[in-house]
Chains A and B, each alone.
Chain A
Amino acid sequence: MSSIFSRGRLLLWGACLVVAIALPLVFKSGFMLSLLCQIGIMVVFALSYNMLLGQTGLLSFGHAVYYGLGAFITMHTLNLIGKDGSPLVVALLPLVGGLAGMLAGVVLGYVTTKKAGTTFAMISLGIGELVAACALMFPGFFGGEGGVSGNRVIAKQAFLGFTWGPQVEMYGLIVAWAFLATVAMFALTQTPLGRMANAVRDNPERAEFVGYDTQRVRYLMLILSGLFAGIAGGLTALNYEIVTAETLNAHTSGVVLLMTFVGGIGFFYGPIIGAILISVMQIVIGGMTHAWLLYFGLFFLFMVLMAPGGIASVITVQHKLWQAGLLGRMLPHYLATALPVLVLLAGLVGLIEMGYALLAGEGVGAGDTATKVMGMQLQLNAPEPWAAALATAALGLLLTRWIGGRTRVAWNAALAALHGDKA
């Protein structure tokens, strides 16, 4: 147990908690606060997803089922309590969501975890579609198109001064639950079950030879993952005070998969980075442009092709280089590559934004001929802006290829030196 609660780890955990608590004191606006709440929920959801993908090697396309069911059950429980409950009960409601997600895992996981690999991916997709289709068939429970709504402020008296009415108090609740869930999920990776999950991921045949039932390990991991996804769902229900069928459809399953993968599935902290990054991008870039999903798709494909280990793996490699004293050698190369990449990005963004404005009729109305891109007022019916954007993109591409090639040579040399040092 000493490895879990070593001094360095305790310091890191404590620092994270302090930062999480301190953030709303720095960013006081309502916008930032709701962003922080969203991040807290998504961190739990993405971590629960990585229990399957990263730790057990199960690629699931239907994880939103557990999240969504947790959210719906929490909302119905909240409405059931009505005016009689106390804020303490409300604070414990995410646990109800967690139990609902766990129960869903017990029932559905029995079917899905019989096989691993592609078959699991397919069954999880099928179950996901099944539950999403059911959501529209039973408007009594799922609330149809409008969803189910409730009110998290139910009591006359406060509990320790909390009513959960103001968003700050809700943020505190989310941080508490997210912290607890994260610690629990990390502790799980250190247990024999967590270790066996890794073994089942890496070499199921050998795990069976050692005497473990791989199906049972997968089943248990899915149940536990459902528990944490349900907690995240319960937090969503309390935070937004409305739950729609959207929470358990394929889109939500896709988003959590993208988040986890972009963050990095090979590391415990990867999904945390992914959840923070994607939530921030979603709200910040999504607020700036209608083309946000297009950028997101491009970014995701770029990550799959260039850094399949996710951001966490990139950070880890840099850390290793730094420890080996090689990072200083690479830094000028990074800076040199950053410039042409920025030029390329500027050109691409210009093209995409102008395209959106012209074709999708964003802004004033259809057939818009003028738009503002990066502070420039552009006339879209004239060829000049298009030519300029194309030229910028082409120049960026050429420079990136040229300088990128040299960076790659240096990169390979640094990696060789790094691995050479080890050997």
Chain B
Amino acid sequence: MEFVVISLLNGITYGLLLFMLSSGLTLIFSMMGILNFAHASFYMLGAYFAYQISTWVGFWPGLLVAPLLVGAVGAAVERYGLRRAHRFGHVAELLFTFGLAFLVEEIVHLIWGKVAVDYRIPLELDGTLFTLFDTSFPIYKGFMMLVSVGMLVALYMLLTRTRIGLIIQAALTKPDMVEALGHNVPRIFMLVFGGGTALAGLAGVIGGNAFVTEPGMAAAVGSIVFVVVVVGGLGSLTGAFVASLLIGCIQTFSVAMTLSITDVFALIGVALPEGSQVARLTITQLAPVLPYVLMVAILIFRPRGLMGARES
């Protein structure tokens, strides 16, 4: 029971963080048709910007300023890079973001070096929020949940209750019509790209010190975010939300399970022959593979994802 509750809490925290990343990615995809390979790079930039700001003026200004900076960088990338690549078609766009991810990692190497930086949780948030079954739940995880849920609500309100949100929704499906009505669709695209990357930056700000801020963090989380978006269904925010929580929980549960494959088969009454390497693997060892297995399975059996409206 203790294991389930604690893992569930951790899984939800991680899942909400994943949603912050995947929501931006899926918004950008459904609007502009661009699978942004560099999305996780903006997450990394958010963490590094916040670290740099925290060394100068502390954590709290960074929480606000770093995502804005990342969003500005994202908007500039859209304006001066992607818009040009767009003329050459989808492959060029995809390759542009791919090259960008590569470049951002190298720039991070250049500025902050190749080892992890000391980006810490602020003192005010360092401590125990409550204790459950003798396991303490840190304040910072609660804070992460709060920020993620706050962002989720704000995003929902923005998209459904404001004028700009309605225009964005309209531009999702009928960009030509929206343009004909006199809205500047390229600028809306730039805003969405900037907003999406700012969300990724915010995830970086609160995720960077919860985990570790190092040049490999983009690659580590990048492919998982892709899995989330594909499993949830390309272009579906609700799907991305469900898939984020699902993957978050799968990750945290599987890491803590010491059952081996033999044990699992024994549970359903099948005895596997002893001694093979595969049968001795534990679920913990399988943990890094599980999201990809899920993704490949989804793509084979339900290519539009859990809640996707269309195929790719």
Question: How many residues of A are in contact with the other chain, CB < 8 A?
Answer: 43
- Measured between beta carbons, the chain A residues less than 8 angstroms from B91 are 59
Q: A304, B296: Cβ atoms under 8 Å?
A: no
**A127 CA / B312 CA spacing, docked (Å):** 17
**A138 CA / B277 CA spacing, docked (Å):** 8
**A322 CA / B309 CA spacing, docked (Å):** 51
Q: A121, B94: Cβ atoms under 8 Å?
A: yes
Partner of A291, one of B89, B98, B110, B227: B110
- Interface residue? A257 (CB, 8 A): yes
- Measured between beta carbons, the chain B residues less than 8 angstroms from A356 are 110
- Per-residue B-contact encoding for A301-320, CB less than 8 Å = 1, 0 else: 10011001000000000000
A297-B106, A360-B114 known; A111 vs B223 contact (CB < 8 Å)? no
**A134 CA / B288 CA spacing, docked (Å):** 9
- Interface residue? B51 (CB, 8 A): no
Partner of A300, one of B81, B102, B234, B296: B102
Instruction: Name the distance in Å between A127's Cβ and chain B's nearest Cβ.
Output: 6
Partner of A130, one of B88, B92, B95, B289: B289
- Per-residue A-contact encoding for B72-106, CB less than 8 Å = 1, 0 else: 00000000010011001111101110111011001
- Interface residue? A399 (CB, 8 A): no
- Measured between beta carbons, the chain B residues less than 8 angstroms from A359 are 110-113
- Measured between beta carbons, the chain A residues less than 8 angstroms from B98 are 254, 257
- Interface residue? B1 (CB, 8 A): no
Partner of A261, one of B95, B289, B300: B95
**A115 CA / B298 CA spacing, docked (Å):** 13
Q: A137, B289: Cβ atoms under 8 Å?
A: yes
A250-B219, A294-B110 known; A301 vs B100 contact (CB < 8 Å)? yes
Instruction: Name the distance in Å between A132's Cβ and chain B's nearest Cβ.
Output: 9
Q: Is the interface of A mostly helix, strand, loop or mixed?
A: helix
Q: B103, A297: Cβ atoms under 8 Å?
A: yes
- Interface residue? A30 (CB, 8 A): no
- Measured between beta carbons, the chain B residues less than 8 angstroms from A254 are 98, 102
- Measured between beta carbons, the chain B residues less than 8 angstroms from A126 are 226-227, 230, 292, 295-296, 299
Residue of B nearest to A53 (CB): B91
A123-B299, A359-B110, A361-B113 known; A304 vs B219 contact (CB < 8 Å)? no
Instruction: Name the distance in Å between A169's Cβ and chain B's nearest Cβ.
Output: 36
6 contacts between A and B (CB under 8 A): A115-B312, A126-B230, A134-B289, A293-B109, A294-B109, A304-B88
Known: A301-B103, A355-B110, A360-B114. 16 other contacts (CB 8 A): A111-B296, A117-B312, A118-B234, A119-B299, A122-B295, A254-B98, A291-B110, A293-B106, A294-B107, A294-B109, A294-B110, A297-B99, A301-B96, A305-B85, A308-B92, A352-B110
What residues of chain A have their CB less than 8 Å away from a CB belonging to chain B?
Answer: 59, 111, 114-115, 117-119, 121-123, 125-127, 129-130, 133-134, 136-138, 140, 250, 254, 257-258, 261, 291, 293-294, 296-298, 300-301, 304-305, 308, 352, 355-356, 359-361
